[in-house]
Structure 1
Amino acid sequence: MTDFFNQAITGLLQQSPIEHIAVGLGLAYLILIMRQNVWGWPCALISTALFTYVFWDVSLFMESLLNVYYMGMAVYGFWNWNRASADQPTLPIITWPLKTHALALGAIFILSGASGYYLTTNTTAAWPYLDSFTTWGAVITTYMVAQKVFENWLYWLVIDAVALYLYIDRGLYPTALLMAVYLILVVVGLITWARLLQQQEPPASNHA
């Protein structure tokens, strides 16, 4: 663990300003989203635009394409979270039933297997299956955040842990350090949204 933090600090001093800015805005995004602040989405838009370049440069092609998707979802999330009315000034937190989670997880594993196989046989991508898993998992989970689905925090715990390993392996130490901080903030976000969900009258649900 000490070696990781030493490498992370060294990486912070050596990596490009582009990655530093992307990391800072990514951290701002998560903190603002955790607090249900809509301005987290503009931070996400700029951060993911920068990460698109960073990941492509180190051959994490699926991660790079994922950040293109993130840019679109940042625009959608900003619009969706701004939908308000006199009776409901803030978009409520909702929950998904087990059936919906089963479909979401099934889609993640099937798509990860398919794209991982393609990357293995047709590209020089690093860690194609893990890269694909974090990509497709994040595709689903980012949509959950835009919809304010409570369980998104549980998904992020797994995705960010895998992403942390990928970034360390590829020498993206500032980004890896961001993922380590993300894992802590995800736990805080889970607890925070659980309390907010209990305070809603009545708690919202989605029976999709």
Structure 2
Amino acid sequence: MSWTLTWTEVLGFATGAVCVWLVARQHIANWPIGIANNVFFIVLFTQAGLYADAGLQIVFIALAAYGWWTWTHGGGPGSTDALPVRRTSRAEWFWLSSAGAVGTAALALLLDRATDSTVPFWDALTTGLSLMATYGQCRKRVESWWLWIAADVVYIPLYVSKGLLLTALLYVGFLALCVVGLRSWRRDLAAPRTAPALGAAA
């Protein structure tokens, strides 16, 4: 395993750290910064042979546009209220876990048969967990932080194995920020229903 630091990885590190910090604070600027982070990671992961993770960034960009809209409009047409933090319903858990399991299995099979990926299952698993977590983030579901924590626990050794040490370090930081975000969103959930001002530090 060799480590070659690139500007793409440095910029991915910086924008990723800022993005997660802003999500934890429910700051609307997390979405455009997150999109920039996705672009850097498309290049980085393609070069590292993590094709599912690279493709995932494209999906993230689309989800970021959706999340940006729901956070500013409360998730409803004509609404201008900020989206409140809520818990994931049983129905949401059912279809999220079902889609995640099927998607992970299908993607792992595709990566194994159609690419030169050396880690098809782990690449697919982190992709599935990340998509589930991103949906929850878009809808401000507090349990999305647990999904991110699970994904980060897998991502860290995966990136170390690929020589992406700075990115692995970033995900250690993500893991810590996820704990902060989980605690912050839980407090918001328990507090009286008052939406934070959009674009203001929470």
Alignment TM class, shorter chain as reference: 0.7 to 0.9
Query: What's 1:44 paired with?
Result: 34
User: How many pairs align?
Assistant: 192
Segments ≥4 residues shifted beyond 6 Å? none
1:155 aligns with 2:147: yes
State the Cα deviation string for residues 20-44 of structure 1 (Å, max 9, x = none).
Answer: 0111011100111110100011110
| Aligned-CA RMSD value | 2.2
For residue 105 of structure 1, what is the aligned residue in structure 2?
A: 97
Q: Distance in 1 between matches of 2:193 and 2:172?
A: 34
Give the superposition deviation at 1:88: 7.1
Tell me which residue corresponds to 1:206.
none
SS in 2 for 1:44: helix
User: 2:129·2:150 contact (CA, 8 Å) conserved in 1?
Assistant: no
Amino acid in the other structure paired with 1:48 = N
- Percentage of identical aligned residues: 27
Normalising by structure 2, report the TM-score: 0.88
1:63 aligns with 2:53: yes
Closer, same or farther: CA 197–88 of 1 in aligned 2, 3 Å? farther
Unpaired segments of 5 or more residues in structure 1? 1-6, 203-208
Tell me which amino acid in the other structure corresponds to 1:144: G
- Which stretch of the first structure deviates more once superposed, 106-115 or 17-26? 106-115
Is the partner of 1:82 in helix, strand or coil? helix
Tell me which residue corresponds to 1:130.
122
CA distance in 2, matches of 1:28, 1:200: 28
| Contact 2:84–2:193, Cα closer than 8 Å, also in 1 | no
Task: Provide the rounded CA distance (Å) in 1 between the counterparts of 2:189 and 2:83.
Answer: 12
Change (3 A) 1:200 1:126: farther
Matching of residue 31 in structure 1 with residue 21 in structure 2: yes
- Asked if the contact 2:51–2:117 (Cα under 8 Å) also holds between the matched residues in 1, the reply is yes
* 8 Å Cα contact 2:132-2:147 kept in structure 1: no
Post-superposition offset of 1:191: 0.7
Q: Distance in 2 between matches of 1:139 and 1:97?
A: 17
**Alignment correspondent of 2:62:** 72
**TM-score, structure 1 normalization:** 0.85
